[in-house]
Amino acid sequence: MVKKKISRNIKARIRKSRKDLNKNIKSFFDWIKGAELVELNECENEKDPVRPELDNFFRTSYGRKIYGVKYKDEIHAVMCFAFTNQIPKSVYELDLFSRDAFLQSATRDQNVGQIAIAYTVWSNKKGGGKLIVKEVFKMIKKSNHLNRLVTLSPLTEMARNFHLKNGAEEVQVNEETQNFEYKIIK
């Protein structure tokens, strides 16, 4: 009698756990399916775990852009880019190379740089980092002038693991940073 009661309680808990798990999985996929990539005029710099010292002027001048993954009027992930014609090894080079590409484009076709350099990414929601990489990758693939997606990542295992797990290849390890490339096949 006691064994049957215990067995029923365990089965009831297992059913409830399954229902909760299914509900969590459904809400996770709902937000992923409903999210969209949007260009932002600014971001909350202090939330950036990689480069909080860079202000919105830096992030949006000389052809640099901020993108976010938006779901239900809320931004859940952010990625910042600079467009260059060379792979930078530092934030200083990123600034110089993106200014140079911007100035070159002013006298030509208005397309800034051939390489999109992702120099920071963060997420407030599980799955947001991977989703923004995927969405930005699609956007770059559709562009006429961009032919490479490269990162300027900090020298951390977390950054390394994130990019390798998401399909990037290591390009180089620098004094203060590391570069990974996501192959673009058009």
pLDDT (tens digit, 9 = 90+) per residue, 137-178? Answer: 888 888 877 888 999 999 999 999 989 998 899 999 999 999
Residue given tokens 């792979």 in the structure block: 87
pLDDT of the residue at 161: 94
Burial class (CB in 10 A: 0-12, 13-18, 19+), 177: buried
Structurally, at CATH architecture level, domain 36-182 sits in 3-Layer(aba) Sandwich (3.40)
How many angstroms separate the CA atoms of 124 and 71, rounded? 12
For 89-175, list the strands marked E by DSSP: 115-123, 148-151, 153-154, 169-173
pLDDT of the residue at 30: 54
User: Span 62-90, mean pLDDT?
Assistant: 93
pLDDT (tens digit, 9 = 90+) per residue, 2-57? Answer: 556 666 666 666 666 665 545 544 444 455 567 888 999 999 999 999 999 999 99
How many angstroms separate the CA atoms of 182 and 186, rounded? 13
How many angstroms separate the CA atoms of 118 and 87, rounded? 11
